[in-house]
Structure 1
Amino acid sequence: MPSGGSSLFSGFRVLGLYSNHVPHALRYHKKHREFYLVTAVGKCFHTYNVNRLGIVSVSNSLSDDISCVAADRMLVFAAAGRLICAFARNKEVVMRYHGHRQEVRLLLPLGDQLISADSAGDVIVWDVQGGDVYLRLQFDPVTFALSAMMHPSTYLNKVLLGSSQGALQLWNIKTSKLLFTFPGWSAGVTVLQQSPAVDVVGVGTATGRIIIHNIRLDETLMSFTQDWGPISSLAFRTDGPPILASGSPQGHIAFWDLERRQLVTQQRHAHSTAVAAATFLHGEPLLVTNGADNAIKVWIFDLEGGGARLLRSRQGHSAPPTTIHHHGNDGKNILSAGQDGTLQSFSTVHERFNKNLGHGSINKKKEQKKKKGLSYEELRLPAVTAFSSAAARQSDWDGIVACHRGRLATTTWNYQRCTMGAHHLQPPVTGRDAIATVVDITSCGNFAVIGSSCGRVDVYNLQSGLHRGCYGNDVKAHSGAVRGVATDTLNQLTLTAGSDWLLKFWRFKTRKQEEQLKLNAAPATMMLHRDSGMLALALDDFTLLVVDIETRRVVRKFAGHHGNINDMTFSPDGRWLVTVAMDCTIRTWDLPSGCLVDCFLVAMAPVGVSLSPTGDFLATAHVDSLGVYLWTNKSLCGPVGLRPLPADYQPAVETLPGVTVDESEQEVTSEEVDDTYESADQLGAELVTLSLLPESRWKSLLHLDTIKRRNKPVAPPVAPAAAPFFLPTLPGLTPQFASPTATDQEAQVRLLEPRFSPIDRPLQLLKDCGPSALSVELTCLTSEGGGANSLLLAFIQMIDSMLTSGRDFDLAHAYLALFLKLHLRSLSQDSVAMAALFRLSSRLEAGWAELQATFDQSLCLLSYAKSALL
């Protein structure tokens, strides 16, 4: 069977991707008067405005992951492997630079030239516009392994190179001469940064030492030592206070006072991973940082003592998410638990609605933390392995319950306060090495049912956190680990599945077992669709069972996956079951027909899936990926022909969706490009275009008699006072000065002007007339008014041309209405004119019918969108 893509889902966008280990680039746009931040994310880079940290542009993808980025006033340069690309408008590749034989690691724009260095020691100076190689330098990695590069301020055509051996070299790239060699400080150079003072640079080393050195005098002015390992970044503050910021691989940032030559303050755990880059905004007390923890942060220095606080940030998971679920009934928020131990909420509407619920902690009270003497890492709870949420009572108490890796006690979380909750739910008596495995919150939001690896299933009250009982006569509901728990809509039934191959049905209130069902294999996961009463079970033999909880019988059995089924979700109406597995497939099963109706492959194995309660988006989480990917449900946009797929169907690989730009943010463009867009006169033959005239010009044409009677003056007109001079003016609504009489030469020049279309000139004259003047012009078309009867037919043809072109739709109808009011009696006696009017009438009816159909379609779509939001 030939392969095919998904007929049901199409990639839409990815949520939660912001940054990686590549240092960011900062650029200032003079026209917008705003700073923009460029960060690399995989094979493309994102551009954010620092003012709001809103994404304004996403570049086209490269063939490989980006290893470094740099930016100047006009272009953004990105290196992927051995290729360097120049991007215009932060999106389009306008130039490619080929010449490196190894991976490019460093980029430095310098005027009309670009300097790049690779891992083999090759340094190439490129001509930015032409892409030609201006200069090539070769360094031996054994003696001088290039590790840092910068351009000293005011040093024309000079570049300072740092090495892993510790030495520095100053080169003139125009003359290709080595000007000076600095012996170094017996430590590898990791960072070179220009200070606000000329001739003074900051040097960061692999031993944690920071040297402030005058390269003109070859004199070390001062030095500091950082206790957190190598220097990952350096930044000088330029708005007044002489402060130097240094980043570390542990995520801490130290701030040094260059006048007092001492440490002022420190920002611990600014990032959970190494600080990739830190940059002070020129002339502002703002510091921008990014790291491999998928976070961008802006710090402001407004605290006493020179300290900084977090002003704004964009951050996602620093480790791949493992479990995702939609929260609430509107489908706009997705809860995601990652391997980094955080619980986060991503909004499908806008990034400003994202929430970070943070890390779980052993004890929330700071006083008890200090008494125990535990470190920051020891207080953190392990990653969340399973969680359940309910929005019914989240305003009253905690609405999220989570299980943690290797722990029996479960934690509660508050979605509205974005914090960990007040309760730790733990059974009163349990065996050794037991851990909580699954959890479910009742539809009313009052109770939580938690299953553990020892076979216990316990019930807790979420308001008080008290234990309300357990299932099973011998305190154990199953003889093996509990793999799934679920409660129905009315809190009548509790369903549990265990590794003992049993599915059990319990009364929720009495906690007595009613029935059990023997399975073909041990269940791996379980999902209940409460509205339809369908229970889906994924077994360890890669098969799926669907059980009707009313009849308590297996009603569907599906087979087709070739790997462990990681997660599954129901459609809102319970018709489809979407499953994801380690075989990298996403399959959609149709329950009424019992067939596989959609299947497609992805590059990375999906580990989590959730279909929104409104059915518009499918969310997936994947192995080794930090984002949450959204797929559009095509069936909501138009008819989708679903048919059963054969057993030998070979699915095609669908590309994972990328980041999309928010339309509310401003697109960053080059400063010298004119971005003025001129709209066409007419967009399409099936559309109509209204005139730009005010309504007073055409809406009152049929009521001129009434307006004249109402506005009849009471007193006779009075002659105006004589003016000392006057300028001749033309009659009309818009004041215009009369031009002098044209000479013969000017008349000849006018004859050379381009000709207008037959209707453009008279139509423009009618547009310039006011309502009264327009009425006079149309009245004078007949022979009684000084015109000719042939002009009536010409006017009808002009209206027909206007309707055919679709332009000035409102004027055509208004002019035609006034024309018929004035001349219908005389037109009825002209057979040629009447034939033209009949043709015009048919065109009017067809045009209005097409326009009405378009209106009805738009109103229907708008009504559906409003009902979906409600």
Structure 2
Amino acid sequence: MTAGRKKGSALFAGYRGLGLYSNHLPHVLRYHKRHQEFYLVTVVGKCFHTYNVKKLGIVAVSNALPEDITCLAADRMLVFTAHGNTVNAFARNKEIVHTYLGHKADVHLLQPFGDHLISVDSDNVLIVWDTQSEEEYTQISFDKTLFVVSAITHPSTYLNKILVGSRQGSLQLWNIKRSKLLYTFTSWGSAVTVLQQAPAVDVIAVGLASGQIIIHNIKYDETLMKFQQDWGPITSISYRTDGHPIMAAGSPLGHIGIWDLEDKKLVVQMRDSHSTAIAGVTFIHGEPLLVTNGSDNAIRIWIFDAPGGVGRLLKSRMGHNAPSTKIKYYGQNGQNILSAGQDGTLQSFSTTHDRFNKSLGHGSFNKKKSKKKSVQYDTMKLPPITTFAAEASRESDWDGIIACHRGYLVSTTWNYQKSSMGAHKLEPERFHKDRALNVHATAVDITSCGNFVVIAVSSGHIDVYNLQSGSHRGQYGTDKAHEGPVRGVAVDGLNQITVSTGADKFVKFWKFKSKELVHTIPLNFSPSSLLLHRESGMFAVAFDDFTVIIIDTETRRIVRKYSGHSGKINDMTFSPDGRWLITSSMDCTVRTWDLPSGSLIDCFLLDSAAVSITMSPTGNFLATSHVDELGIYLWSNCTLFNLISLPPLPSDYEPSVVMLPGACPVEDTDVIEVDAEVEATEYESPEQLENELITLSLLPDSRWKNLLNLDIIKKRNKPKEPPKTATSAPFFIPTVPGLVPRFAEAPVENLEEQSRVVNLGVLAQKSGFYVQLEDGFRSNNYTPAFRILKGMGPSSIDIELRNLAPEGGGSLIVMQSFLQMIVSILESKVDFDLAIAYLALFLKLHLKLISEEPELMKEATKVMEKLEETWTDVQTMFNQSLCLLTYLKSALL
């Protein structure tokens, strides 16, 4: 089937998630003594993120747990988390170093306590753990009918003691070392939700479910002051420690109350600080900074530097607080992803750093009136965006984004540079008289020039608008473009053709300028969406029967058809080169189809279906958004950094589940190992594919291309002055000239044996190439000789070929052997370019001698015949290929 191939995805590997910052659990603030910096820890599903407070940049992401984290705590060294009935301790903000097992029910409270950790489960059992040994120090069980633990804290300076709050409203002070109840505080008539130590010793702030805050002295059991918030239960409490007697309290409505403890009054109401409940508020020690997080997937830092005690937003990290409906890469650098969420906002997420993220805001009918109202009470809000199109070519001149809203006819423009809604709300005038019609925009597209926008509506109309002025520029069709809702519309890269498809089971081609219908393709099933790849002119149409077809805009024919999904196709995207089509479906699979081969080459299964997918313009990432997931997940394209073989997958291929990036177990349990018997063998290209083809060498051009012009090059490079010898030359080891450096043998110094008689045998010494040519003439094996010549440089080759002639110390037999060597190389059809280059130099040097010797002429004739024969075969194959291409092109047209 797919021998040697890893289950899951061979093309894409999980990289990381974007737009995930916080959930409903309170954050934890830690101080690093060596760095002298505060760090913020927030929970995101099965892992937690660590940010530096100074720049609010992420510094670490923990390894993921098998289940969602239910509570979070931290001390100076470790971060503690709980999932189910298991408690873990993380070191270095990433890896688990301790695991505490002993609870029978889910853990919902954690409290670090010196060298110990206190945990409380839903069965009302409190266990004290030794942090390092992971052993249980003591255990306390509470009676559920009398005391259900809901909050816990360690009062400052109280040795071995903890204060426990209950849903019944009472407090208990326990000595952990002796497991003894020391004191019980009477109830205030409401469940305790928060216990927070005040800067003053013995003083504890008690937050109640009734919205009341009790400042209580536990030493004397005396209430110092009371405050009442009308926004529901108190979710968190924090004190300023920079010299101002200020207390902040969070609420389930997203409001924060700022209380003055000296004047005992409410100073500021920070309304709508978060769009959902406030999970945690913490003042940074010694600074006028308040850190807040909420279940709206946002982290915010407020600074209190304005008169009146009002906090202003200093830094924030914010994502969608509802799943995305549509994502799309913006621009051509592949660094920004536009995302429309069910929360009604349009946001941009950067793949490089979170500081480049920005929110374009929430759609509104009247932005000026919306700004005067609170976010929660804004009646002018538009519903969530269902689909949008973006073009960055004219973003600095006018709006470059057009969006459709759920159930609304009006399409809105957005400006990326200004990070806000645009100047126009585009609505066809034909519906102004009767606004009660149930008509809404279904599809949009922007031309590549950024000047025009095409909007399709559910009534079957398709209109064209000028994006700069918002003026109507015509419609397609005399009355309607389609008899039924339009499911997709796209404009080609040159503004020549507009393609549309609708529920009437037709794909129509229109002239963009004249709005004239050019061609119609009938379909067998009702289409659900359309996607055009402008560079290749191919577009994909997805159907309600879960199949996909590919149509060529030039030939206007269906060229590919793919089937394999078992659920509704949610989204499609092309690779930048147009070679792959990637589809996502409600069957939770993401499939990659290869257009040239027409086959499925990759498929992987996810826990939640991908609602929208988009491929980076640079091809390095695939981005996905999923059902019930707030984040956008990036998948690396493995073909960019690894050699991957992608054979077609069989029709009965069953993919394995791949975890989302950042949600994999600590150990790679999601990777299914391949059988040890089947080993993946990497493909090695043979030296020659077929004997009918000629094969060129892999040598660089400088080794053979300039052989004929070597004398000209030497003359041009000849130095004007002779080289000067250094007065005191440094020591060096002499080497033998050549491509491969070799050390010369040291000369034997024997003055007595030196003679003035010249040894002619040394001058007449034969080279290795010369000897191999002589051997090849006898054995008819010229491979060693050609290998030596192939390893030489241009100058050495020139000298060797010159010395083959009798006047250079050679012979006619060796020259005859050289021509036979060329014939053998031509017969093998390997290193064709080298054989031609060596033959050309040989003929240039010895052409006159060859013409005078009959034996050399005979061998030269054989070379010419073999050369003509080889070239004739190659030319025949070229003609056959050109003929086949011409036939296919004419058949398609």
Q: TM-score range by the shorter chain?
A: 0.7 to 0.9
1:30 matched to 2:33: yes
d(CA) in 2 for partners of 1:158, 1:237: 25
d(CA) in 2 for partners of 1:519, 1:108: 64
Counterpart amino acid of residue 220 in structure 2: L
1:655 matched to 2:673: no
Partner of 1:322: 325
Partner of 1:466: 471
d(CA) in 2 for partners of 1:556, 1:375: 49
DSSP-derived class of the 2:536 partner: coil
1:297 matched to 2:300: yes
Deviation by residue 1:516-556 (Cα, 9 ceiling, x = unmatched): 22111111111001111111000001011111111211111
Match of 1:624 among 607, 628, 639: 628
Verify the 8 A CA contact 1:68 1:78 in the aligned structure 2.
yes
| Residue 472 (structure 1) shift | 2.0
| Residue 63 (structure 1) shift | 2.0
d(CA) in 2 for partners of 1:31, 1:636: 40
Verify the 8 A CA contact 1:58 1:659 in the aligned structure 2.
no
DSSP-derived class of the 1:494 partner: strand
Counterpart amino acid of residue 555 in structure 2: T
Verify the 8 A CA contact 2:16 2:661 in the aligned structure 1.
yes
d(CA) in 2 for partners of 1:160, 1:704: 91
| Alignment CA distance shift 1:162-1:373 (3 Å) | closer
After alignment, is 633-642 or 210-219 more displaced? 633-642
d(CA) in 1 for partners of 2:423, 2:346: 16
1:582 matched to 2:586: yes
Partner of 1:175: 178
1:439 matched to 2:444: yes
DSSP-derived class of the 1:635 partner: helix
Deviation by residue 1:499-520 (Cα, 9 ceiling, x = unmatched): 1111111111122222222111
| Alignment CA distance shift 1:369-1:193 (3 Å) | closer
1:387 matched to 2:388: yes
Verify the 8 A CA contact 2:116 2:128 in the aligned structure 1.
yes
Partner of 1:615: 619
Identity within the alignment, %: 61
Counterpart amino acid of residue 446 in structure 1: N
1:531 matched to 2:535: yes
DSSP-derived class of the 1:439 partner: strand
1:111 matched to 2:114: yes
Deviation by residue 1:618-642 (Cα, 9 ceiling, x = unmatched): 1111111111111111222233212
| Alignment CA distance shift 1:826-1:707 (3 Å) | closer
d(CA) in 2 for partners of 1:707, 1:31: 57
Verify the 8 A CA contact 2:63 2:662 in the aligned structure 1.
no
Partner of 1:401: 402
Verify the 8 A CA contact 2:64 2:663 in the aligned structure 1.
no
d(CA) in 1 for partners of 2:146, 2:409: 56
Partner of 1:858: none
Match of 2:508 among 504, 514, 518: 504
DSSP-derived class of the 2:399 partner: coil
1:13 matched to 2:19: no
| Residue 659 (structure 1) shift | 8.3
Partner of 1:420: 421
| Residue 458 (structure 1) shift | 1.3
d(CA) in 1 for partners of 2:124, 2:470: 63
Match of 2:570 among 566, 576, 600: 566
d(CA) in 1 for partners of 2:371, 2:215: 40
Counterpart amino acid of residue 293 in structure 1: D
d(CA) in 2 for partners of 1:572, 1:582: 25
Counterpart amino acid of residue 468 in structure 2: Q
DSSP-derived class of the 1:190 partner: strand
| Residue 826 (structure 1) shift | 7.3
Partner of 1:215: 218
1:192 matched to 2:214: no
| Alignment CA distance shift 1:653-1:19 (3 Å) | same
Counterpart amino acid of residue 394 in structure 1: E
TM-score by length of 2: 0.73
Partner of 2:460: 455
| Alignment CA distance shift 1:659-1:139 (3 Å) | closer
d(CA) in 1 for partners of 2:224, 2:444: 61
Counterpart amino acid of residue 309 in structure 2: G
TM-score by length of 1: 0.75
d(CA) in 2 for partners of 1:525, 1:422: 28
Point out where structure 1 has 5 or more consecutive residues left out of the alignment: 661-702, 709-774, 780-791, 797-815, 831-848, 850-870
Verify the 8 A CA contact 1:611 1:619 in the aligned structure 2.
yes
Partner of 2:131: 128
d(CA) in 2 for partners of 1:569, 1:204: 51
Match of 2:283 among 280, 283, 289: 280
Counterpart amino acid of residue 445 in structure 1: G
Verify the 8 A CA contact 1:576 1:588 in the aligned structure 2.
yes
Deviation by residue 1:54-108 (Cα, 9 ceiling, x = unmatched): 1111112222111111111111111111001111111121111111111111111
d(CA) in 1 for partners of 2:362, 2:146: 46
1:248 matched to 2:226: no
Deviation by residue 1:227-286 (Cα, 9 ceiling, x = unmatched): 111111111111111111111111111111111111111222111111111111110111
Partner of 2:699: none
DSSP-derived class of the 2:504 partner: coil
Deviation by residue 1:552-578 (Cα, 9 ceiling, x = unmatched): 111111111000000001111111111
d(CA) in 1 for partners of 2:376, 2:152: 38
d(CA) in 2 for partners of 1:230, 1:412: 41
Partner of 2:346: 343
d(CA) in 2 for partners of 1:459, 1:286: 51
DSSP-derived class of the 1:544 partner: strand
Partner of 1:270: 273
Verify the 8 A CA contact 1:11 1:656 in the aligned structure 2.
yes
Deviation by residue 1:358-383 (Cα, 9 ceiling, x = unmatched): 211221114x875x999634232211
| Alignment CA distance shift 1:136-1:461 (3 Å) | same
| Residue 655 (structure 1) shift | 2.1
DSSP-derived class of the 1:187 partner: coil
d(CA) in 2 for partners of 1:17, 1:825: 70
d(CA) in 2 for partners of 1:607, 1:98: 38
DSSP-derived class of the 1:429 partner: helix
Verify the 8 A CA contact 1:14 1:659 in the aligned structure 2.
no
Deviation by residue 1:18-49 (Cα, 9 ceiling, x = unmatched): 11111111110111100111111111111111
DSSP-derived class of the 2:258 partner: strand
Verify the 8 A CA contact 1:13 1:659 in the aligned structure 2.
no
1:89 matched to 2:69: no
Q: Spell out the pairing of 1:45-60 with structure 2 (5 A cutoff).
A: 45-60=48-63
| Alignment CA distance shift 1:458-1:112 (3 Å) | same
DSSP-derived class of the 2:483 partner: coil
Deviation by residue 1:175-194 (Cα, 9 ceiling, x = unmatched): 21111111121011111111
Verify the 8 A CA contact 1:43 1:65 in the aligned structure 2.
yes
Counterpart amino acid of residue 333 in structure 1: N
Partner of 2:367: 364
d(CA) in 2 for partners of 1:320, 1:469: 36
d(CA) in 2 for partners of 1:358, 1:369: 11
| Residue 706 (structure 1) shift | 7.8
| Residue 825 (structure 1) shift | 11
| Residue 4 (structure 1) shift | 2.4
Partner of 1:148: 151
d(CA) in 1 for partners of 2:463, 2:270: 43
Counterpart amino acid of residue 277 in structure 1: G
Verify the 8 A CA contact 1:453 1:482 in the aligned structure 2.
yes
Partner of 2:646: 642
d(CA) in 1 for partners of 2:150, 2:726: 86
| Alignment CA distance shift 1:202-1:508 (3 Å) | same
d(CA) in 1 for partners of 2:533, 2:619: 14
Verify the 8 A CA contact 1:4 1:650 in the aligned structure 2.
no
DSSP-derived class of the 1:365 partner: helix
How many residues are treated as equivalent by the alignment? 679
Match of 1:310 among 298, 310, 313: 313
Counterpart amino acid of residue 357 in structure 2: N
Partner of 1:484: 488
